[in-house]
Structure 1
Amino acid sequence: MISRAKVLFRLSVLLLFFVSASAIYAQTGTIKGTIVDAKTKEPLIGASVLVEGTTNGAAADLDGNFVINNVSAGTHTLVASYVAYQPVTKTGIAVETNRETVVDFEMNSDDISLEAVEVVARANRESENILLLEQKKALLATQAVGARELSRKGIGNAEAAVSKISGISKQEGVKNVFVRGLGDRYNATTLNGFLVPSEDPEYKNIALDFFGTDIIQNVGVNKVFSGSSTGDAGGAIIDISSKELINDRAFGAEISGGLNRGTIGVDFLRQDGSNYLGFANNKKPNENKVDFANSLDPKVIKTPVNHTFGISGGKQFKVGADNNPLSFFIVGSHGTNYSYTGELIRNTTSDGTIYQDQQGDKYSQNINQLVLGNINFGINKAHNLAYNFMMVHANNQYVGQYSGKHTESHQDSNDYTGRAIRQQTNDNLLFTHQLISSWKLSNKMKLNAGASYNRIKGLEPDRRENYLSKQDDGTYILTGSNRQKRFFSELKENDINTKVNLQYKLNDEFDNTNSALEIGYNGRFVDDKFEAVEYNFDALSGTFPIDNLQLDDLYNQANYESGKYTMSVGELNTYNVKKNVHSAYAEATYQLTSPLTANVGLRVDNVDMTVNHRVQHVEPGRESIKKTYFLPSLNLKYDLNDKNAIRMGLSKTYTLPQSKEISPYQYVNIGFASQGNPNLKPSDNYNADLKWDYYLSPSELFTVTGFFKHIVNPIGRVDQGNSAGLLSYSNISAFATVAGIEVELRKNLINRVNTATSKVNRVSLGLNASYIYTDLEVDIVNTPRRKAQLEGAAPFIGNFDVSYSYSNRDKNLLASVVFNYFSNRVHTIGTRNYGNIIEEGVPTIDFVSSYKFNKNFTAKFKTSNLLDPSYKLSRRMNSSGENIVLNEYKKGINFSLGVSYDL
């Protein structure tokens, strides 16, 4: 429990920030207005306005409106700039404290080339309209979700953000997302363009829910590939752009609280061993002692209230005689969330005989902190240097109590029934450092260079498992055969990324900047070290009451010294993964005709991946993958007119097995255990995309995409069909086919804007849907050949949202309803005589609303998972045709209420 004094201290610090910020920034006003074409009067989306002599500026939105906040009181000069338009300067603009000044711009087109136009204010890439404009101009088919759209839809993190994009879905109980039916191993995650490793040995990519919306500028999803793209991807490259300072200063603070409906009226159980911030005690016992640091008995929390708070701020300065801009931005946050679920767990033999049938109560708590820092220095307007730092800490823990039948864990019962208690913590810490530079060497040549260093420490400290078998008289005894255990594991990873590229603009007959040549190099050097140890205890004799069981009274040092039980320490399980990838690429972009632009590239990846392992029950071994890949790509864009564009992409990529997938280490969970396969081969991916975009207006879009993939040696998770419920990994077929169609619509149903009175009434609609067809012939030893779908590939995915916004000067009301659905999909491929495990489709609905009282304070209310559907895994028995539910639970409805302050 945190003391009242500490709570008061933190509130005092937060209040001090409010007061200080108000005092510092009180003497400011606001400049607002519109920017339009002088002839057509159409809004110039993305045109920039700068307060001369400062770095404070803004970009025009879809209606041409701009707002510059925090302008110091006094007289100023404004400069408006836009590509291919003549700059406009307005002097003598008077700004008064806490007042709005309206300034409108009309700009005339210019025939000068892009090189002669200097955009003096940075475009706000949090804006939906700016991102849509970038998507329209891009040669490659891309999609992005910005911070404003995240806020409008009540999206809490990057994982939820990308799952709202067409063709992407989340699989419950599995980290990260599936893109066009391709899961974690087929995707890549980058932060500001640099690959980021996973914090969890089970996965390739870092969990996207680490990245909360308080650090996201935008999330981009690239489903097509070029020479400069990473080669180890077949589904998508998901790039998270971290927030940076947009104006010349910023300050914000937010606090919220909420509940999960399932925790109301429940004596919530929390395991011992983690402090308020979630840092877990990883201390192992001393030799020949059982002096474990953590208790076996969980504690009861009466009021498990979800809560988050955060603070952010930044400022820009002028440095040196040339007034070079130097800016910094920093954000920090903390959050705690509780949930309770009632859970069903079953397992069967191939003929449908149920050998595990348990009902459980699962008490989960997630704790996280984040610190993000950014420093950006502009040197002589031609060079830029940036440093990004990020620290993410996440603690996910639960206490699970399961009662019922299990022939493995309750073997000392005549009817194989009993009680299982599992307490697990995953405590993960990531540090990221990035240094990024760009150098304008001449009007035609630009050099970009950078490096990143990632360090991860992933702990599963003191996992506690206790099994009791029920006797005929209703009492319980502790199960023998190593069914009382504690487990410690640790993953340490160092990941270094380097990149450098040289861009040279080419002359073409259209005299624009679309044509260019780029050559580059990327290097990635990964060193993973994993180790795990298990402590096993024999069963104390006697019978025990299950309702008031005190395990600390049984397994303690006194009983150990008196010989009432013994403890054995298992062999140290280790594996080490070293992966070095050297990549060189060249790509050329050329404007072939006025509407047609082509990009052709070649990437060469030299891969050297070696796994050394020493695990129980398996001979020590060493597996290596050494291969050179030649990866060609071709991308075409044809502009039918200024509203319609067609893009085509052809490419080859590959997919390496994950570290865990080729190490034979066995990880045991409640329902299933998983083990790697040293004989896995990489997959080769051949990708084709065809996309049509129709831009109805600057903020409205209709798009249709068709795609096809041919995957050689696809990798999948398979059920080994044994009594341990063992899952493994295999090249499940010689090849797999993936094809589908995606449709997206963004439309304003009502859009009434009155610039003179600053009133806006808008109802907007977002809709995307995808149909995905996957086909392969299962080719696994001791398994009849049959047709199947790829693991995680939902044939149908749909997302729908409708939003209403009303604003009147500084006041703003926003309300959104977001709906998501995916159809049934394969969770695990069945082998031998087992059918596939199916994850049944579910619909979800979220509601989010906010009200901005003035330019500083906003109240927010959100409810998520309103339908509270049941999440189910099921399997159809080949012998009887009966469909048996293997896992089922509900997540509960979440409610939250918060308030934020922004300058």
Structure 2
Amino acid sequence: MSSMPKFTFSRIGRGVVLALHTAAAAVSLNAAAQDPAEPLTPDSASVERISVSGRLLSSAAAAAAERRELPYVAELLGAEQISRAGDSNAATALRRVTGLTLVKDKFIYVRGLGERYSSTLLNGAMVPSPDPTRNVIPLDMFPAGIIESLVVQKAYSPELPAAFGGGNVNIRTTSIPLQRSFNVALGTGYNSLNNERGVSYAGGSNDWQGKDNGVRAIPAELAIAQQQYGVLTPINIAENLGGVNADNLAQAENTLRHLGTAFNRNIDINATSIKPDVDGSISFGDRFALTSDSVFGVMTGLSYDRSTHNIQEQERYYSVSGKNLTPLNRYDDISGTEHQVKLSGMLSFGLDLGVNHHLETATIYLRDTKDEVKIKRGDSIETINENNRSNTDTNINYEQRTLLSNQISGKHNFTPLNDLALNWQYTKAKVRRYAPGQIEHRYLNESQADGSVFSFLRRNQNAVNYSFSDMQDNTENLSWDTKLPLTLGKVEMMLSTGYAHFERSRNAQTDRFNFDTVGFNLNQLSGRFFEIFSDDNILNPSNGFKISNVTTQADDYLAAQMIDAGYLALELNYNYTVRLNLGVRYEDFKQISIPLTANNSISGSITDSILQADDFYPALALTWFINDDLQARLGYSQTTVRPDLREVTPVLYIDPLTDFNVTGFANLQSTDINSLDARLEWYADSSNYSLGVFYKALKNPIEAIELSASDGNLLMSFRNAQSGKLYGIEADFLQPLGFFSDSIGQFAGNFFVAGNITVSNSAITIQRFPGANLTNLTRSLNGHSKYIANLQLGFDSDNNQHNATLTYNVFGKRIAFAGVNEKGDAFEQPFHSLDLTYSYAPSDSMTVKLGLKNLLDNDVEILQQNEILQKRIEGQSYSLSFAYKY
């Protein structure tokens, strides 16, 4: 097998050189599959570049070829690698990258730094996040079918946004094909937890579409009443009716009762059978010659995924008395069912005007809907010491996340101007998180003398809670950069400069309402939900039914961001031996976040909500090409991580991932980061190895802390620690096992191993805060794991009909949240993941794939004081799919 292509520098532009290297790598690695008597000619090489796609070994080596050309430390996953491992979306694929772990199946931690320290670009552009509590995009929204490659850059370079912590993920979507293509795939799946019957409710949703039909939306009568009266209390309504007197108060109470009948009350929980998961995708692409040197291309695709997953969890909290910590004697058992629908569509057009000018548009639409019912059976602080009483809490959650991105970009090479290259892009994107009709209520269960259980809805002023949330973000992103290649003796140079402008606006609104049942008797409260809150019971004045909107938890705010940035960079390559990249970025950052009252007026001072900063962010990278196969890297940079819009807005909200109450803190400061990276990389034939070390010093790191320790009702917020540091070592490898052929048989050449491991340490120093009695003032960073390991064993048959991959992934324990009031820190325990994917291709156009997930049947556990605080049973997942391509 011939050698991998070596690094070269050419004035025709790095993009062209890179494409040639990638094609050459693919040809090199597929040469063994050709007839030995057939020579590799330039014509056959061009054909190979188009046809190679089946073997993971070749696709991994092609990705490595691109990685070695990048001037900064980075990792890359290609579409074939993602497909081969059986990953369904960007999040699950990225957990196989060196130094990365996955949190809540959505967010990545890079080198042990939380999701706030990672950033995401879509085809190089900043786009908003549909998650209301985090600045980064939930990566589970991006299905594998639209991904061309994932680039994780761990060392900063000045063309990237300065908000760079652990790493930047660039999701590069499928572009215009080299030839006509048609792909269709169908699949099904099942989880072992679904052997039990699930639960559902008559929520009025078109579940298979992943779109609410309006039944969950805030009732029109209620919205009108809020506009007319503001806070919905009898006194406030009476004042709007002309004054507080007996007649107006009676009319106000009657108005509130009638508004109660407008709510969707058809929410009784019923057992239901679980259907197998269904997914499918279809895509088409083609290119058309317009003239002898002009080509027009189109690429379109649509994917759909519907899945159902039963929920089995456990929780317990600590009863605090002085310094005595006593775990509750019994767990709260949580069961339920989550229905999820994912829909994605993409449409791209491309135009090549000769070899020097390329225009492309990309429209991407993503919709991710979750409809979840959770039932918690256990104790609260009121019933923990009463053996004959317990609670049943029901939570109904519906969340619809959408992203729409429209992008136009151009790449131009001006040959008469010394091959000056100009790249530009404009992206307009909007996201929405729509969560209507989220409901929670509690039933009390009392054991009777005859052994029966009497259950009734609690009699309380807030017996039932409804919430209606809607958050919309709109962004515009414009950027351009130029590259000018120059030659001075043995020195090849590339001078780069660019500009970027980013605007973001957010409108977030949440309405919360309570049902008051104090006037009901216990017999009235012992039925099903719809019976308790029938029209007759609500409208009967003797029951004293009331509704109220919860202004103390108002979560309405407006926010905006604006960033203007420019950079200047220089690349020097001396005699193909040493490459030096250095540059600096300047950013002017402005942010405002304004909390609103129930009457949509500004809460507090506007000046308290403004964050403004401007600074220079330098970066340097040095690459030494020791020989044709070995290269060493060294990098240094200064970057920042800024607080998110929600984190600096002093309003109360519920984190949808943890169910914790969270409040923002207006005085958060940005985190300044100094980073140092060193790495040694070896590339030989189809093998590659790397070994690197890294160090990061953090000033004012932002940490999530617990403000109160009331049992079962955690209140979290954010504060700046004084300082922090992170350092470690990481290694990765890709090695075919052909050298074992003589000792273990001829099939050894069909196997390969790949993997990576990261070992690191972190520490922060944090001061005490009012209202937060932190137990440990020196500890690890939130979310940091001391070790991460990813291993793969792959098999490719000679005829490429059979492919299999066994993948193992594990991370070390990490702090879920810091302990307070003498309680120790809560640690998420290591999760050992073992997955198997097997595919059979009876022909070049057909593939059948079998996937097995979590073969070790591990559970997710969070421990505090060496006791299980939270536990989630994952179950084992099985999938089967069929794909046809033309």
Please tell me the TM-score bracket, short chain as reference: 0.7 to 0.9
Partner of residue 667, structure 1 = 653
Deviation, structure 1 residue 45: 9.6
Counterparts of 2:521 and 2:584, CA distance in 1: 70
Deviation, structure 1 residue 832: 4.1
Question: What are the superposed Cα offsets for residues 240-276 of structure 1, whole Å, 9 maximum, x if unpaired?
Answer: 1101233310001100112111011324435623211
Counterparts of 2:734 and 2:467, CA distance in 1: 50
Letter of the 2:654 partner, please give it: V
- The alpha-carbon distance between structure 1 residues 249 and 123, as it changes in their structure 2 partners (threshold 3 A), is closer
Aligned pair partner of 1:367 in 341, 347, 350 = 341
Partner of residue 427, structure 1 = 400
Counterparts of 1:122 and 1:806, CA distance in 2: 21
Is 2:109 the partner of 1:178?
A: yes
- The alpha-carbon distance between structure 1 residues 454 and 492, as it changes in their structure 2 partners (threshold 3 A), is same
Counterparts of 1:751 and 1:251, CA distance in 2: 38
Q: Partner of 2:136: helix, strand, or coil?
A: coil
TM-score (norm 2): 0.85
Partner of residue 5, structure 1 = none
Counterparts of 2:636 and 2:7, CA distance in 1: 31
- Tell me: higher relative CO, structure 1 or 2? Use CA pairs within 8 A at least 6 residues apart: 2
Aligned pair partner of 2:157 in 226, 231, 249 = 226
Counterparts of 1:729 and 1:232, CA distance in 2: 21
Counterparts of 1:365 and 1:455, CA distance in 2: 25
Q: Partner of 1:558: helix, strand, or coil?
A: helix
Is 2:351 the partner of 1:377?
A: yes
Counterparts of 1:658 and 1:294, CA distance in 2: 36
Partner of residue 82, structure 1 = none
- The alpha-carbon distance between structure 1 residues 415 and 584, as it changes in their structure 2 partners (threshold 3 A), is farther
- The alpha-carbon distance between structure 1 residues 334 and 552, as it changes in their structure 2 partners (threshold 3 A), is same
Unpaired runs of at least 5, structure 1: 1-35, 48-54, 68-99, 109-116, 754-758, 877-882
Aligned pair partner of 2:873 in 890, 896, 899 = 890
Partner of residue 30, structure 1 = none
Letter of the 2:115 partner, please give it: D
Aligned pair partner of 1:477 in 451, 456, 459 = 456
RMSD of Structure 2 on Structure 1 (CA): 3.2
Counterparts of 2:4 and 2:821, CA distance in 1: 64
Aligned pair partner of 2:430 in 455, 459, 474 = 455
Counterparts of 1:46 and 1:692, CA distance in 2: 15
Counterparts of 1:384 and 1:760, CA distance in 2: 44
Aligned pair partner of 1:259 in 156, 173, 190 = 190
Deviation, structure 1 residue 123: 11
Deviation, structure 1 residue 735: 0.6
Deviation, structure 1 residue 304: 2.1
Unpaired runs of at least 5, structure 2: 9-18, 223-257, 742-746
Aligned pair partner of 1:773 in 740, 758, 761 = 761
- The alpha-carbon distance between structure 1 residues 519 and 294, as it changes in their structure 2 partners (threshold 3 A), is farther
- The alpha-carbon distance between structure 1 residues 296 and 859, as it changes in their structure 2 partners (threshold 3 A), is same
Aligned pair partner of 1:899 in 859, 882, 885 = 882
Partner of residue 236, structure 2 = none
Q: Partner of 2:818: helix, strand, or coil?
A: strand
Question: What are the superposed Cα offsets for residues 638-696 of structure 1, whole Å, 9 maximum, x if unpaired?
Answer: 01101111111100000011122112222236853222222211100111100100113
- The alpha-carbon distance between structure 1 residues 324 and 196, as it changes in their structure 2 partners (threshold 3 A), is same
Question: What are the superposed Cα offsets for residues 831-879 of structure 1, whole Å, 9 maximum, x if unpaired?
Answer: 3433211111120111111100111111111110111212111212xxx
Partner of residue 577, structure 1 = 559
Partner of residue 99, structure 2 = 167
Any conservation in 2 of the 1:215–1:372 contact (CA below 8 Å)? yes
Any conservation in 1 of the 2:349–2:360 contact (CA below 8 Å)? yes
Partner of residue 476, structure 2 = 496
The count of residues paired between Structure 1 and Structure 2 equals: 798
Q: Partner of 2:284: helix, strand, or coil?
A: strand
Partner of residue 852, structure 1 = 841
TM-score (norm 1): 0.83
- The alpha-carbon distance between structure 1 residues 120 and 311, as it changes in their structure 2 partners (threshold 3 A), is closer
- The alpha-carbon distance between structure 1 residues 296 and 118, as it changes in their structure 2 partners (threshold 3 A), is closer
Letter of the 1:161 partner, please give it: A
Partner of residue 764, structure 1 = 752
Counterparts of 1:557 and 1:230, CA distance in 2: 56
Q: Partner of 2:106: helix, strand, or coil?
A: coil
Letter of the 1:744 partner, please give it: D
Counterparts of 1:612 and 1:359, CA distance in 2: 39
Partner of residue 628, structure 2 = 642
Superposition pairs of residues 492-891 of structure 1, within 5 angstroms: 492-510=472-490, 512=492, 515-539=493-517, 541-543=520-522, 550-563=528-541, 564=543, 565-571=545-551, 573-614=555-596, 620-622=604-606, 623-668=609-654, 672-697=660-685, 699-723=686-710, 725-750=713-738, 762-781=750-769, 782-783=773-774, 786-808=777-799, 812-876=801-865, 883-891=866-874
Partner of residue 284, structure 2 = 313
Counterparts of 1:566 and 1:413, CA distance in 2: 30
Partner of residue 133, structure 1 = 65
Letter of the 1:859 partner, please give it: V
Any conservation in 2 of the 1:636–1:649 contact (CA below 8 Å)? yes
Letter of the 2:343 partner, please give it: Q
Question: What are the superposed Cα offsets for residues 537-589 of structure 1, whole Å, 9 maximum, x if unpaired?
Answer: 0127344799x962112223332222332222233531111100111110111
Deviation, structure 1 residue 713: 0.3
- The alpha-carbon distance between structure 1 residues 221 and 44, as it changes in their structure 2 partners (threshold 3 A), is closer
Counterparts of 2:703 and 2:831, CA distance in 1: 23
Counterparts of 2:425 and 2:170, CA distance in 1: 16
Deviation, structure 1 residue 425: 1.1
Partner of residue 40, structure 2 = 105
Partner of residue 90, structure 1 = none
Counterparts of 2:845 and 2:442, CA distance in 1: 55
Counterparts of 1:827 and 1:764, CA distance in 2: 36
Any conservation in 2 of the 1:260–1:895 contact (CA below 8 Å)? yes
Letter of the 1:599 partner, please give it: N
Counterparts of 1:886 and 1:589, CA distance in 2: 52
Partner of residue 391, structure 1 = 365
Any conservation in 1 of the 2:22–2:66 contact (CA below 8 Å)? no
Partner of residue 31, structure 1 = none
Counterparts of 1:60 and 1:545, CA distance in 2: 77
Aligned pair partner of 1:153 in 85, 88, 109 = 85
- The alpha-carbon distance between structure 1 residues 416 and 517, as it changes in their structure 2 partners (threshold 3 A), is farther
Deviation, structure 1 residue 58: 10
Letter of the 2:124 partner, please give it: G
Letter of the 1:813 partner, please give it: H
Partner of residue 239, structure 2 = none
Partner of residue 440, structure 1 = 413
- The alpha-carbon distance between structure 1 residues 592 and 550, as it changes in their structure 2 partners (threshold 3 A), is same
Deviation, structure 1 residue 716: 1.1
Letter of the 1:591 partner, please give it: N
Partner of residue 328, structure 1 = 298
Letter of the 1:851 partner, please give it: Y
Aligned pair partner of 2:133 in 195, 199, 202 = 202
Letter of the 1:892 partner, please give it: G
Aligned sequence identity (%): 20
Is 2:124 the partner of 1:193?
A: yes
Letter of the 1:377 partner, please give it: L
Counterparts of 2:691 and 2:387, CA distance in 1: 61
Deviation, structure 1 residue 761: 5.5
Partner of residue 19, structure 1 = none
Any conservation in 2 of the 1:124–1:130 contact (CA below 8 Å)? no
Q: Partner of 2:140: helix, strand, or coil?
A: helix
Partner of residue 237, structure 2 = none
Counterparts of 2:785 and 2:468, CA distance in 1: 36
Counterparts of 1:485 and 1:411, CA distance in 2: 23
Q: Partner of 1:664: helix, strand, or coil?
A: coil
Deviation, structure 1 residue 731: 3.2
- The alpha-carbon distance between structure 1 residues 184 and 238, as it changes in their structure 2 partners (threshold 3 A), is same
- The alpha-carbon distance between structure 1 residues 347 and 458, as it changes in their structure 2 partners (threshold 3 A), is same
